[in-house]
Amino acid sequence: EVQLLESGGGLVQPGGSLRLSCAASGFTFSSYAMSWVRQAPGKGLEWVSVISGSGGVTYYADSVKGRFTISRDNSKNTLYLQMNSLRAEDTAVYYCAKEAVVLVVTDSPFDYWGQGTLVTVSS
């Protein structure tokens, strides 16, 4: 059974940093690209970033480019999102999501999602 478990969310001041983790199990982690998707309170879904299965290819939404860094440790089956220079508009539930198609970075749907972790940016 595929499981994705996010952690690391919490309250942080504007300008601060936070690192999210997503522990994966139930599939060959290194074979699949992984994304982070966020949802501000009462709002829609927003794609944040994707990383290839090997970790060598990454892409970001313009809204987070230069501030967020996606990475993965395939030996630990864990995905990360390092978030720096946080702003109030980064407040959201952050989901990690597994891409459905093996060895593809983009152009694949997300077939499994974690339960999400809430990040609140406020003074």
Partner 1 sequence: SYELIQPPSVSVSPGQTANITCSGDKLGDKYACWYQQKPGQSPVLVIYQDNKRPSGIPERFSGSNSGNTATLTISGTQAMDEADYYCQAWDSTTGVFGTGTKVTVL
Which residues lie near partner 1 (CB under 8 A)?
35, 37, 44-47, 50, 59, 61-62, 95, 100, 105-111, 113-116
Using CA atoms, how far residue 123 sits from 11, 12, 55, 117, in Å, is: 9, 8, 34, 19
Q: How far is the CB of 23 from partner 1 (least distance, A)?
A: 15
13 or 34: whose CB is closer to partner 1? 34
Q: How far is the CB of 59 from partner 1 (least distance, A)?
A: 4
Residues pairing with 107 in the sheet? none
Q: How far is the CB of 43 from partner 1 (least distance, A)?
A: 8
Fill in the amino acid letter for 32.
Y
Residues in the chain: 123
